Structure formats: C-alpha cells, structure tokens
C-alpha cells in the first residue's frame, strides 16, 4: 500500500478583537483518488487549539480492518507523544 501525509500546518485563527471573525477549529481531509495513495493522513490545527487528524482510504483497496488498525495505532501514538 502507498501512504500520503499532507499537512496544511497551523492556521492563525485571527479574531483578535470583537469586530473581526476568527477560526476556532479546522478540519482538513484528502479524498481517496484512484491514481493517488491508498491511505491518506491529513493533520491540521488552529494556533492555540486542538490538533485534528483526518484519515481516509480507498474502499475495496484497503481492507477496512487494516485501515481501522492504522487509525487506532495513530491515535495511540499521537496521544503518547502529546503526554506532558
């Protein structure tokens, strides 16, 4: 299988005053493409906010059990890295 990790980085949510709008939470995802990677990981966060990681995969190409195991392992790994 092929994997791709794409990262938009950290967004500066703005909204420093009551007159302007800001971004409090963001989600980023890459759709599964036939000519693309079989499994995609898309992390993004807003400055000072939580990290959101979206995972997607090609149905009938990647076994759902394998994809679920990769997502579960990624979740455990990120929680381990995020411990103080």
- Give the tens place of pLDDT for each residue, 29-45: 887 777 778 899 999 99
Number of domains in the chain: 1
Burial 23-35 (b: 16+ CB within 10 A, else e): eeebebebebeee
Which residues form the domain of 36?
Answer: 3-81
CB 70 within 8 A of CB 39: yes
- Give the tens place of pLDDT for each residue, 9-65: 888 888 777 788 888 888 888 877 777 788 999 999 988 888 889 999 988 888 999
pTM of the model: 0.75
């Amino acid at each position: 299988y092929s994997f791709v990790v794409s990262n938009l980085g950290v967004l500066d949510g703005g909204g420093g005053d009551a007159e302007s709008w800001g971004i409090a939470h963001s989600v980023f995802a890459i759709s599964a493409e036939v000519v693309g990677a079989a499994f995609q990981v898309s992390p993004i966060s807003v400055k000072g906010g939580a990290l959101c990681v979206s995972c997607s995969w090609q149905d009938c190409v990647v076994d759902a059990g394998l994809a679920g195991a990769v997502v579960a392992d990624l979740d455990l790994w990120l929680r381990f890295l995020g411990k103080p």
